[in-house]
Each structure stands twice: as structure tokens, then as C-alpha cells.
Structure 1
């Protein structure tokens, strides 16, 4: 997920549009890839019981729900670190708004994840996080320097 949706998706698009690769682009590419991996992890946490019965050995099945939640948090923090390094390189005055939006979305998501115990509760996190990622991309686009 990190390689395909992060590195190939972002860096490949940059190369197609510019004919070059910027070293700093690895940061948002990694952050987006990690966020996509979070979507997969939510799905896998939701399906731990059925995957275990079907003999599927996902990361969430191997870790169990409590440790899969920790893994999920690590993915989010690693992505946040990549954003924190990249945002100052490309955004000026709108940096506060972007960081505040990222912090708020991440805090809400982690709070809801901590509370979630059932498949139904975890299922609600799938669209919540996917929409958050979409809104983040839109916010980046709207604030991008020309």
C-alpha cells in the first residue's frame, strides 16, 4: 500500500507532470502511503475475527486488536512527522491552518479508534478516515502556492 498508493502514485504523478523527481516529494508520498495503509489497517482490524476463521493472516490478525491499534497510531505519527517536515518547505502563511486541520483530524481519529471495540464501530472509521484524507488533499490543493 505504501509503495503503490504513496511512492508510485505521488512520485509517478510528479514525474509525469514535470519530467523530474524532487527529493522532498518523498515526504508527502510517504505520508499519503502511510495514510492509505491506515485505511487497510482499519479494514483488517474490523475483520480480525472473520479473517482468523478464514485462515487469513493479516497484520491485524497477527497483532490482535490492542496492538493493531498501536500499529495504527504509529502509522499516523510517522505520516504526521513526514507532513511536519514537508509543509514548511512548501507553504507560507497558510501553514497554521494546514497544521491545525491535520492535528484536529488526527486527534479525532485516534480518539474514535481508542473507543472502538466492535466491528461495527471500526467500520464507521473507514469512511471517516477516507474522507479526512480526501479533505486533506483538497486543503493542500486550495492552499498550494502558485
Structure 2
């Protein structure tokens, strides 16, 4: 038996399966399968259970509802765990990016300080200076809206 990948191991722990991504047509057909529909499906399952015979509904209607809801319910714990894990990883990534930004500020400052003595450094580091213009620290200067000076 081949060794499981990390994703397969994680899927087993979360009691979900790894499936191939949906193609465009399949995704389009599921366009309306939104989380809010689960509550409606719950209510519909109770309704069909109560009135299915009166409405002459096939037993498969209730089976589709209950099996679909059971499938969604089974995946909820894994989904919640993955959301928390994703948020944690994303916040760690933001912290890492913040550390990078500090390094970028320092490198940009040094490029500017040495630009006269080493023009080639200033020329090669222009991409960094241009990029960092968007991240100037401190308060933004407010433009005067009246067009005039003090007075």
C-alpha cells in the first residue's frame, strides 16, 4: 500500500475525502448551494417527512434531503477546523510579511543613503524604492480643500 500524502492524512483525520476540483459546468450547477440553503433543507426534510405521503412524494425525495444533510453535517467539524487552521496560518504569514517589510524599509533607507556614492546601487535598487513609495510610514499629508493659505 503506497504511503499517504500529507493532504490524504489530514483528510482522514478530518473525516473528509480528497476529491478533484469541479469543472466549470459542475461548479455552475452548484451555484446556488450556499450555506443558507442548509437551514431551508432542514425545514424541507421535516416538511417532507410530515407531508410526503399526502403530497404523494417518492421516498427518494426525503432520502436525498436527509442524505445530503448528513453529508454536510459530517463535514462541518473538518470545515471548522480547516477555517481555524487557515486563519492561523494566514495570520502567521502576515506577521512574516510584516518582518519582511521592516527589512524592506531598512534596505530602501540604505539605498537612498548610498545613492550618491554608489549610483549603480541606486539604479539597481530603483524597483525597491518605487515599490516602497506606496508604504511610506507616518501620517499622510492632508491636502488643503479651500485652495488658499492661512488667514
TM-score higher than 0.5: no
Structure having the higher helix fraction is: 1
Report 1 or 2 for greater relative contact order, CA contacts < 8 Å, sequence distance ≥ 6: 1
Largest Rg, 1 or 2: 2
